[in-house]
Structure 1
Amino acid sequence: MQKFVSACMLLLLVAFNVQSADEISEEYAYYGFEPEIVTNYISNRKKLGFVRISVELMVKNPADLVSIERHDPLLRAAIVEILGNQAEDKVKSLSGRDEIRRECYEMVNRLLEKETGRSLVVNLLFTKYLYD
């Protein structure tokens, strides 16, 4: 009887793990802008300030990468415009960087929704963020 109970528990655990693995196995993909984005920002000094970033767009469905690649110039231009309109203090602070990232994420999804009819990007990441 004890072996039967153990076997049933083992089958339940295996069934539970298979179901959990299926739920977790969402396939994410990333699209990176090449080359890196380099632009100026509004500087408080007499010297011109610049920011250089690497941006990765995270999508749930790898098939969406084709649409994102097709609209790369539009998305890149929007990110450059957002960065170019930022004040030096915002560019150089951690909280400001996160606000800029969020603004870029929202703009990218708005543009993709206009172009493709749906928001494709799950997350936008700055994998490199350098400024002067």
Structure 2
Amino acid sequence: MKRIASLLMVLSLLLSVKVAVAEDEQEYAYYGFEPDIVTNYISNRKKLGFVKISVELMVSNPNDLVDLEHHDPLLRSAIVEILGNQAEDKVKSLAGREEIRRECFETVNRLIEQETGKATVVNLLFTKYLYD
């Protein structure tokens, strides 16, 4: 009886290790918006401020790239709207940039979930972030 119990413990341990390894072997893929996103933002000065960003969407399944490409205009429009509603101080600060990135991520995931039935975006990255 002890032998069976120890054999079951070893077997369950091996299965849990195999599951953990399988989770680490996910195939991440990235979808980049082309061309870069350029828009104006609310400026404290008399001239308009602008921001130019490169955005990469990270997904855990490469098959989801087709959905992102199909809904590119919707997602791009949402990001442009978010950026256009930001104050200059927020656009130019590191903490503000992170808040904007997080808001873009949440919005993109919500929109793609509405369109496809699943939230496929794991992360949203700003790979270029220029402002004036």
What one-letter code is carried by the residue in structure 2 that aligns with 1:109? Answer: N
Deviation at 1:21, TM superposition (A): 4.4
In 1, the alpha carbon distance for the partners of 2:58 and 2:32 equals: 9
2:32 matched to which residue of 1?
A: 32
In 2, the alpha carbon distance for the partners of 1:80 and 1:22 equals: 37
1:99 matched to which residue of 2?
A: 99
1:49-102: CA deviations, max 9, x gaps? Answer: 000000000000000000000000000000000000000000000000000000
Please show how residues 117-132 of structure 1 align to structure 2 within 5 Å: 117-132=117-132
What secondary structure does 1:86 align onto? coil
What secondary structure does 1:58 align onto? strand
1:28-48: CA deviations, max 9, x gaps? Answer: 000000000000000000011
2:73 matched to which residue of 1?
A: 73
In 1, the alpha carbon distance for the partners of 2:23 and 2:42 equals: 46
2:50 matched to which residue of 1?
A: 50
Deviation at 1:24, TM superposition (A): 1.4
Q: RMSD of aligned C-alpha atoms? A: 1.4
Aligned residue pairs total: 117
2:8 matched to which residue of 1?
A: none
4+ runs of 1 displaced by more than 2 Å? 18-23
**Identity over aligned residues, as a percent?**
78
What secondary structure does 1:78 align onto? helix
Q: Which runs of 5+ in 2 are unaligned?
A: 1-13
What secondary structure does 2:45 align onto? coil
Normalising by structure 2, report the TM-score. 0.85
Normalising by structure 1, report the TM-score. 0.85
